[in-house]
């Protein structure tokens, strides 16, 4: 019993640490993208800060509701539904594969140029 509790505390610490890291990374990504969002929307920095505030607030509110739904219906089911939806919606994205070219290996880049 004692060994189980010792192992469990490390699992809890690891999950909590990863969760905090992901939340911080998400915030950093939003802040880094803020200048582009502000220029695309042709607005000022004050509105951009409100965008970040509303984004973080919505993440917080939706996290509780989605977590409750996952507890009632199952985490695997929720994960599979999200994966299926994103797989079906990804081809509808306006992002062209050629925009990804700088991030791809050269063989794949040449193949994309040939296709597009």
Rounded (10°) angle between helices 45-73 and 2-41? 140
Identify the three-state secondary structure at position 104: coil
pLDDT at 41: 85
Where do the H-state alpha helices sit in the chain? 2-41, 45-73, 75-89, 106-115
* pTM tops 0.85: no
Per-residue pLDDT for the chain (116 aa), expressed as one digit of tens each?
566 666 788 888 888 899 889 888 988 888 888 888 888 888 888 888 888 888 888 888 888 888 898 889 888 888 888 777 776 666 666 665 555 555 555 655 566 566 65
| CA separation, residue 28 to residues 24, 49, 55 (Å) | 6, 13, 13
What is the C-alpha to C-alpha distance for residues 80 and 1, in angstroms, rounded to an integer? 34
């Amino acid at each position: 019993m004692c060994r189980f509790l010792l192992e469990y505390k490390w699992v809890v610490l690891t999950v909590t640490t990863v969760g905090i890291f992901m939340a911080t990374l998400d915030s950093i990504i939003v802040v880094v993208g803020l200048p582009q969002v502000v220029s695309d929307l042709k607005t000022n920095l004050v509105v951009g800060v409100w965008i970040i505030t509303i984004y973080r607030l919505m993440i917080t509110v939706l996290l509780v509701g989605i977590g409750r739904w996952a507890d009632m219906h199952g985490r695997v089911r929720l994960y599979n539904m999200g994966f299926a939806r994103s797989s079906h919606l990804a081809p509808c994205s306006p992002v062209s594969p050629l925009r990804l070219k700088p991030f791809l290996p050269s063989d794949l880049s040449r193949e994309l140029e040939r296709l597009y």
